[in-house]
Amino acid sequence: MTDRSLPMVQPLSGLPERVTIWEVGPRDGLQNESAVIPAEVKSEFIRRLVAAGLPVVEATSFVRPEWVPQLADAAEVMAALPEAPGVRFPVLVPNLRGLDAARAAGAREIAVFASATETFARKNLNRALAEQMTMFGPVIEQARSGEMPVRGYVSMCFGDPWEGAVSPAAVVRVCDELWQAGCTELSLGDTIGVATPGLVHDLINRLTTAGIPVAALGVHFHDTYGQALANTLAALQSGVTTVDASAGGLGGCPYAKSATGNLATEDLVWQLNGLGVHTGVDLDLLVTASDWLAGVLGRPSPSRVVRALSPSS
């Protein structure tokens, strides 16, 4: 690659010096693919992401195969994880059975996936919103008793395709339930990509006012309306230092068809590099990894930075 991969740098005041990128490509990015991707391809993708310097790579999910067939090979993928001291490989689990399977496969930290809205809770979890903690509570308790970190994803934090705008108070309530149950980190999901920066500032302020430390918050933006990078900047200005992203911009949500791709990791790294914010990620290697996967999938990467910097462009 050329020096096109080096953006001009001009820091902004009020931003963190370092941001942790929580890479979700191997799990969230690939779960919507209609053709089943071989475990060896997923494992190679993870190895390339680790080589690019990503500190957290969400490897897979221990859900029932009929729910997400793409992730039926979770144990095989876990068995092939690279030796990478200091790199974290969290996995998603829906219940105690998933937690047991994750532990047996060697997982050291997990995530649970909650909803901020009634309709999505019923569609995604097959239970009422008020009942979701009866499923997640025991999972969090058992994981924490074994000193496993637990991330709590909260979906539909800004908008729901069935219910419309989501009350910030409802989001704060679900986040507080997860926090009080023992989650060590919370990820705020804009599942259908409708948030704008003012909404992001407002929600983070409400959460910190409710007693949830900003250091425990991450953000997970979808780019449906082209707002993911703007919303990320708003989150950083509010003190957030963990940002979810998917290499190549892959992903969506199998239970919300209006949820298009995740924020592309390459686009995020380009912006952070230009702001002088450290990530530890080698953008050239990351672009190469996503370009390779795009070739495997047989279509161009959705990431603008990958398209701009790919050797084939």
Tell me which range, 34-38, 122-126, 138-142, 253-257, is most confidently predicted by mean pLDDT.
138-142
Answer yes or no: 253 catalytic. Answer: yes
Report the pLDDT value the prediction gives residue 313, as an integer from 0 to 100: 53
Residues 116/133, Cβ–Cβ less than 8 Å: no
pTM of the model: 0.95
Domain boundaries, the chain: 18-309
259 pLDDT above the threshold of 80:
no
265-274 confidence digits (pLDDT tens)? 999 999 999 9
272-302 confidence digits (pLDDT tens)? 999 999 999 999 999 999 999 999 999 999 9
CATH, domain 18-309, list 3.30.70.260, 3.20.20.70, 3.90.1170.50, 3.40.1780.10: 3.20.20.70
1 pLDDT above the threshold of 70:
no
Residues 289/45, Cβ–Cβ less than 8 Å: yes
